[in-house]
Amino acid sequence: MTEIIRLNSYISKCGICSRRQADELIAQGKIKINGERITVLGTKVDPGKDEVEFEGKLIKPIRQYHYFALNKPVGVVTTLKDPQKRKTISHYIARTGMRLFPVGRLDYDSEGLLLLTNDGELAHRLQHPRYEIEKGYVVEIHKPLDQNALNRIKEGVTLDDGFFMPKSINTVNNRGKSTTVHIVITEGRNRIIRRLFDSLGYNVVTLKRVSIDVVELGDLKAGSLRELNSSEVKTLKKRAGLK
C-alpha cells in the first residue's frame, strides 16, 4: 500500500522543482491529477494510483539525483523562463543534458555560486531557515565602511520586513574609495544584503556568493559548471537532516 503524500512533495520527488516552487506551480494551475487541474495547496496524492501531469506530461519520482555548482554571471535571471526574454540559467542547464532547477536565487545584478539539482527534498531543506545553512558573500560597497556602521551590522538591523543579523561580517579591504567585506548569512530573504547596506547609506557595487556551506566557488569561471563531489553532497544532506 503506497503512502499518500502532499502534492508539492510528490512534484519535488519527480525532480521538477523544490516544494516551495511546486506550491507556485499548483497555485498557477499548472498541475493536473487524473486529468483535473489542481489549484488548492495542501492537496494530497496517492503515487500508486494517481496520475500527475505537468506541462501535459505524466511525471514520476526519479531514481537518480544530480548536483551541480554554477558560477552565475551578472545579467542572468535565476529562473528557467523569463517573460522579458532576458538570459536565464536554462542556457547553462542545457549543457548538462539533464532536467535541473536552481536551489534558491541570485538576483540579476549578483553573481557567484548557485546550486542546481533535481533533488527537490534537499533543495527545499537547504532553503529552509530551520537548517541555518551558511552562505558566504564577498560584497563591495561604494565608500569606506566606518566602525559605527560595522558595529550596527554585527548587532543586527531592523529592515522593512523584520530584524536581520548576519552570522558574521569581516572587512577584506577598507582602503581607498570603496570597501570589500565577506559576509555570511543563514537566510534568504529577497535582496537582504543589498537592503542591509542600503539601510545604512551604502550602495552595493558588486555582490558575489562564494560559498554554500561546504561548497566553495573557488576558481570556477563565470558561466561554468562542475558536478559536486560525493563528500560535498553527503555533507549537505547531513546539514539538512537527510541520510
Strand partners, 52: 33
Among 90, 124, 112, 89, smallest CA distance to 18 is for: 124
Q: Could you confirm whether 107 is annotated as catalytic?
A: yes
Q: Report the alpha-carbon angle 168-115-191, nearest 5.
A: 50
Q: Which of 82, 107, 146, 198 is catalytic?
A: 107
Catalytic residues: 107
